[in-house]
Structure 1
Amino acid sequence: MKGIRWRRRVILILSAIGVLLVITFASLMFISGFFREQKYLQPWKPSYSAAITDPRVQLAAHGLLAASSHNMQPWKIKLDSSNPLKFALYADSERLSPAVDPYARQFMVSQGTFLEYARVAGEELGYETAIELFPEGDYDEKRLVQSMRTKPVAVITLTRMNSVSHPLYPYLFLSDTNRGAYRSDALRAEQVDELQGLQENKDISIKIVQDTDNKKRLATYITEASIVEAGVETVMEESAKIFRSNEKEKNKYRYGFSVEGQGTDGLMRHMLQGLVTLFPSLNKGEAASKQFITSTETSVNNTPAFAMIRSADNSRLSQVRSGMLYSRLVLSAHRLGLAIQPLSQALEEYPEMSRLYSDIHRSYAADGETIQMLVRMGTPVKGAPLSLRRDVHELLISESSE
């Protein structure tokens, strides 16, 4: 009899644990927003841009899918009232990241990524896109924010032509960044030649390295930079402010970071979102710093190749052109079955990073050159989840706001 009672107690305890686990799981799913519509993913569907009748807005909807620093999507669009095939791109100064990017260099590289995606889309959809950079002259660096509000980064003029199937167009709809594991296979010589040959301007180039010594040296720079960044409170706080912990927040803000950015998807994504929503400290302070360093170390230890984009100077024009080249690199890498993850912390220009910034430039840049991007490359083990994207109509500058 005692044995029977003991077994019943065990069964009851296990049943209670099972019920508790089910309740906990269901609660996390509810808190995460498991059943909410993912409006922030709508722009990734080809049908989203196809439903737009204005070709300028349609191209902007493709540009919206491009990579941007901190996924801030810092773009504003002004439609020309007298020419239905002309529009201007402005840098959205309200989306600056002054702690991590005090001179707005990454911010301006992000302007170029948008333009290249729009150009690729234009050719696919039957438009030649003539892009004029800084048509009203350079920014006044002493009044940078005001200049960004009044001077366009570019004016884009469309000319109708026969639609041409662009080889890179299908890859606009893939995530630009893959933080997951890459296979150990080195890039083939023909892949390296094709990617390094993407440059259209001799003053801006791509350099791919995959020999053991250089990989080890770059891995050291990247890891040390992650430790520095994790220790700078203002930088980590800036990132924490744009972290979206659940589906409600992601639908509301539609830019910034989320758990997908760490390569987490499926039910595990909702588990993590529920936990972070309940316990925000899991993604702040020391916990966030440790996670950032660990994630970086994991990335560099699973990297067969690194690539750099270098420019002859660090002008705003070169920054934008570097962004355009970066988008070509991302899309071409996708076409070759490769993935990319930016690891550019050592290139950031706040005071605490100055030593590493100088060291990496001394090692990999000629006099006067600037390394605009540093990324890892390789064949991914699996695809990457899509990240947050705003509705393209939020980018439009209304007449009343001028």
Structure 2
Amino acid sequence: MKLSRRKMIGLMGGGVVVAATASAGVFLATRRPTRALAPWETAGAYTEPRMKALSYALLAPNPHNRQPWVAELRGSNMLAIYRDKRLNLPETDPFDRQLTVGMGCFLELLRMAAAEDGYDLQMELFPLGEDGPVATAYFAKGGTPDPLFAHVFERHTNRNAYKDMSVSAKAQAVLADYATIKSDKAEVAALRKLTWDAMDVELTTQRVMMESVDLMRFGKAEIEANPDGIALSGPFLESLMLAGMLSREDQADQTSSSFQQGRDMIRDAMNATQAYAVVTSLGNSRVDQIKAGYDWIRLQLAATGLGLSMQPVSQALQEFPEMAEHYSAVHEMLAGPGETVQMLARLGYGPKIDPSPRWPLETRVPNV
């Protein structure tokens, strides 16, 4: 269905969406995908120390919410952590760099959760090279609790527009322990343009966009059947689905009004940004990428503790051919000699949001 912005507003104002919502009021009131969000409620409920730590670690941020981690219990005190390469993102992440950063987030959250439970995690990265586990981890008594762990349940990726207010100098000073913060007006304006231009390349490069469209979960039923990928849920979005105004087919069609309106919403949200956070590394090895993930999750937890929201806007860091111009530009703007920009994020004060869906822990521990 192709509708102009004016027509869509007219339909909403004239009652088509309202009527759809009203006629299915009870249905829409129950559209929160509760089962897909259950891992946020059950984290920490396990008595076995490794399972307990893993139940927190799976709440880590990761590209396209692929949740690529797999954990194998070995003996009484060891874990082997793998990345499930069947969940790769060959279009947006052809060299698996972003997925590796996500694994770093998982490992750092695992370490923090173990410490909170009184265990010191002795970890070795890539003990058998890239074809083996990402890490092995031994649980030994000890560990020092990390204050950032207190913010695990409130940490979410917030893609909404942020308030038109500056990030305080005090907050920036705290976050500078984990990233470079950009808040100068001229730099922010340049980054707004660069990040949107790069986003637009992703949105309008058909094979790349289809990787995201294929991972979209439309409504509660799809989300609970596959609690990963890009979740589209809530009474408003599901009312659009009921009215035939939001579908996978429309999102795959760049000429559809649904696609164009979604594009406009993304642009408007990205423009409502007053600061950016940048994570760089001196090298770009797999270990460097993992360590960037350590910094990223700590940055986001610290930001959460300060009442700030974050969203990765790392499209310019993607390494498919059509992004080459923006990849060069972002490195010229943000990287020092020999550095790789590993992560780039919007930073600001956003509205309260729900967490993203997660697969139950048992689906990621095959030998439990």
Do the two structures share a fold, i.e. TM-score over 0.5? yes
SS in 1 for 2:216: coil
Structure 2 equivalent of residue 142 of structure 1: none
- Equivalent residues in 2 for 1:256-295 (5 A)? 256-260=229-233, 265=234, 267-275=235-243, 279-286=247-254, 287=256, 289-295=259-265
Q: List runs of 5+ in structure 2 lacking aligned partners.
A: 1-13
- Equivalence for 1:87: 79
Residue number in structure 1 paired with 2:223: 250
Are 2:295 and 1:325 equivalent residues in the alignment? yes
The structure-2 alpha-carbon separation of the partners of 1:68 and 1:273, relative to structure 1 and needing over 3 Å to count, comes to farther
Question: 1:68, 1:110 within 8 Å by CA — same for their partners in 2?
Answer: yes
Aligned to 1:238, the other structure's residue is in SS state: helix
Aligned residue identity for 1:228: V
State the SS of the aligned residue for 2:322: helix
Indicate the larger mover: 387-396 or 295-304: 295-304
Q: Quick one: distance in 1 between partners of 2:19 and 2:165?
A: 42
Comparing 106-115 with 116-125, greater Cα deviation is found at: 116-125
- Find the counterpart in structure 2 of residue 388 from structure 1: 357
Give the drift of 1:20: 11
User: Which runs of 5 or more structure 1 residues have no equivalent in the other structure?
Assistant: 1-16, 140-146, 199-205
Residue among 33, 38, 46 paired with 1:52: 46
Q: Could you say what secondary structure the match of 2:52 adopts?
A: helix
Q: For residue 50 of structure 1, give the secondary structure of its aligned residue in structure 2.
A: coil
Cα deviation, residue 189, structure 1 = 2.3
Q: Percent identity?
A: 32
Q: 1:240 aligned to 2:228? A: no
Q: Does 1:229 align with 2:223?
A: no
* 1:136 paired residue number: 128
1:65 maps to 59
**How far apart in 2 are the matches of 1:350 and 1:93?**
18
Contact 2:192 2:270 (C-alpha < 8 Å) held by counterparts: yes
- 1:153 pairs with 2:134: yes
Q: CA deviation at 1:249?
A: 1.2
Residue 38 (structure 1) shift? 1.9
| Structure-1 residue corresponding to 2:115 | 123
Match of 2:9 in 1: none
One-letter identity of the residue aligned with 2:198: A
Check the 8 A contact 2:227/2:358 in 1, yes or no. Answer: yes
2:77 matched to 1:77?
no
The answer to whether 1:97 aligns with 2:77 is no
Deviates more, 1:279-288 or 1:55-64: 279-288
Which amino acid in the other structure matches residue 320 of structure 1? Answer: I
> Counterparts of 1:392 and 1:115 in 2: how far apart (Å)?
15
Name the SS for the 2:147 alignment partner: coil
Paired with 1:274 and 1:22, the residues of 2 have a C-alpha distance of: 10
User: Of 356, 364, 375, which aligns to 2:334?
Assistant: 364
Distance 1:19 1:207, change over 3 A: closer
Residues paired across the two proteins, number: 353
- Mapped partners of 2:107, 2:271: distance in 1: 33
Which of residues 161, 165, 173 is equivalent to 1:193? 173
Question: Which is further off, 230-239 or 294-303?
Answer: 294-303
